[in-house]
Amino acid sequence: MSAVTDLHGGPSRFRSATASLRGAQCRPEIELTEIPVPMGPSDAVAFSATVADATAAIGRREPGELATGRFILSYDPSRKNEWGGSFRIVTYVKAQVERDLGHDQLLASVAWSWLLEALDRNGAGYTREGGTASRVLAEGFGQLADTGEDIDVELRASWTPADEDFGKHLEAWADMVCTFGGLPPVTDGVVSLTGR
Q: What is the pLDDT confidence band of residue 13, given thresholds at 50, 70 and 90? A: confident
What whole-number distance in Å separates Cα of residue 176 and Cα of residue 132?
A: 15
What is the model's pLDDT at position 9? 42
From the number of C-beta atoms within 10 Å of its C-beta (0-12, 13-18, 19+), residue 4 rates as middle
What is the model's pLDDT at position 52? 82
Percent of the chain at pLDDT exceeding 70: 78
User: Is 80 exceeded by the pLDDT of residue 86?
Assistant: yes
pLDDT digits (tens, 9 = 90+) for 63-75: 568 899 999 999 9
User: Is 70 exceeded by the pLDDT of residue 20?
Assistant: yes
pLDDT digits (tens, 9 = 90+) for 113-154: 999 999 999 999 999 999 999 887 777 788 777 776 677 889
Phi, psi dihedral angles at 71 (to 5 degrees)? -130, 125
What whole-number distance in Å separates Cα of residue 42 and Cα of residue 10?
A: 8
What is the model's pLDDT at position 99? 64
Percent of the chain at pLDDT exceeding 90: 50
Q: Which residue type occupies 26?
A: C
Of the candidates 76, 74, 160, the one whose C-alpha atom is nearest the C-alpha of residue 119 is: 160
Determine if the pTM surpasses 0.85: no
Tell me what the pLDDT averaged over the chain comes to: 81
